[in-house]
Amino acid sequence: MIIALDAMGTDGAPRSEIGGAVSALRADPELEVVLVGDERILAKPLRPYSKLGRLSVVHAPDRVSPADSPAKALRRWPRSSISVGLGLQATGDADAFVSAGSTGAVMAASLQRLGPLVGVDRPAVGTPFPTEGGLTLVLDVGANVGCKPHQLVQFARLGAIYMQDLRGVDSPRIGLLNVGAEAEKGTDTEQAVHRLLAGSDLNFVGNIEGRDILSHTCDVLVCDGFIGNILLKFYESVAAFVVHRLADRLRTNGVSDEVADQLREFDYAEYGGAPLLGINGVSVICHGLSSSRAISAAIGVAARAVRRAMVSHMARDLAQPAASMA
């Protein structure tokens, strides 16, 4: 299996990417990683790993800036690491793509190079949230603003398959983020989504309030990308405080490593990147501040998605009559 890795995406590029790739290769003997980026920049930090094997470079001299608009970036930088990396997957020279670059550019290039699945209006970015009783996949977390009810139902279907195939959850519980538990709560959009989900074949458990997210009341939490992105950024700030500050203070004060390690379960870096769901391929998006550990975990997510044929499962499900009822 070959994973194309954008070597120029993180703020610490390319060292974070190289470290993550090496870690992933050592953990998975069946894996190959292609680093996509400027070979002149990659040459020196790669020297210590020249004998590792299963690690190669594809030259891509351009780099998309976060300041570039996604559409303009693709036209302006056709030889960017994002465009070239996704091109490898489109031609069958890679099985998946991982990037910590611009989310908008990765989404635009994924749609351009791979295309959406039939039955998907808009792809969604799903992020696993560590909770009290396990992981909850929240989607969308930023790819789409102003979603229509049937599009949110599509997100629910995509999220359910992700949790089944990659997390081993049978009949994932679907929740709708809302301001109250009652069916009539929320805007007209949320009320319409509630009716559609309640009438679907999904395991819909109703509206979920913000205070209940970390109680693991559902396995998939559906929301508009505007709200989802705010939720994600807030969660990241809380996780950073708990994991990197409180855990260290507890250790300093003599609290056991076991307690501190339990706090680290809330570190999103443990769970890899956010998959772009609904495209005809595997594209995993990472945080720009991702460490080598986070990059390695994201490569693992991409590899599991390929091995378990997640995209084919989504394509079959969306082709069923039940999927069209929304």
**In DSSP terms, which residues pair with 124 in a beta bridge?**
277
Same domain, 214 and 293: no
- How many angstroms separate the CA atoms of 228 and 226, rounded? 5
226 and 173, same structural domain?
Answer: yes
H or E segment at 166?
helix 149-167
- The pLDDT assigned to 231 comes to 94
**Residue 27 shares a structural domain with residue 137:** no
Instruction: State mean pLDDT over 11-22.
Output: 95
pLDDT band with cut points at 50, 70 and 90 for residue 156: very high
pLDDT band at 251 (very low <50, low <70, confident <90, very high): low
Q: Identify each DSSP E strand in 55-202 by its residue range.
A: 55-59, 96-99, 124-131, 134-139, 173-177
Please indicate, yes or no, whether residues 111 and 144 belong to a single structural domain of this protein: no
Domain with 127, as residue range(s), is: 121-269
Q: Is residue 323 part of a domain?
A: no
Question: 165-168: which pairs have CB atoms within 8 A and are 24 or more residues apart?
Answer: 165/304, 165/305, 165/308, 165/309, 165/310, 165/313, 166/275, 166/301, 166/304, 166/305, 166/308, 166/310, 167/128, 167/135, 167/137, 167/219
Tell me, what's the pLDDT at 247?
Answer: 66
Proportion of the chain above pLDDT 90, given as a percent: 72
Q: Is residue 273 predicted with pLDDT exceeding 90?
A: no
**110-114, 177-181, 265-269: least confidently modelled range:** 265-269
Tell whether 324 is covered by a domain. no
pLDDT at 255: 61
Q: Are 177 and 141 in contact (CB under 8 A)?
A: no
Say what the pLDDT of residue 324 is: 45
Q: 110 and 133: one domain?
A: no
Question: Are residues 262 and 286 located together in one domain of the fold?
Answer: no
Rg (alpha carbons) of the chain, rounded to whole number? 20
Same domain? For 216 and 295 the reply is no
pLDDT computed for residue 259 by the predictor:
63
**290 and 250 in a common domain:** no
- Is this model's pTM higher than 0.75 or not? yes
* CA angle at 193 for the pair 216 and 179, rounded to the nearest 5°: 55
321 part of a folded domain: no
β-sheet bridge partners, residue 80:
62
- Helix axis angle, 81-90 to 103-113, nearest 10°: 30
Average pLDDT over residues 66-73: 80
Residues 154 and 239 in one domain: yes
Average pLDDT for 148-155: 97
Same-domain pairing of 221 and 257: yes
CATH value at residue 91? 3.40.718.10
d(C-alpha 149, C-alpha 80), whole Å:
35
Would you tell me the crossing angle of helices 149-167 and 292-307 to the nearest 10 degrees?
A: 90
**82 and 6 in contact (C-beta within 8 Å)?**
yes
282-320: per-residue pLDDT in tens?
999 998 889 999 999 999 999 999 999 999 999 999 987
The total number of structural domains in the chain stands at 2
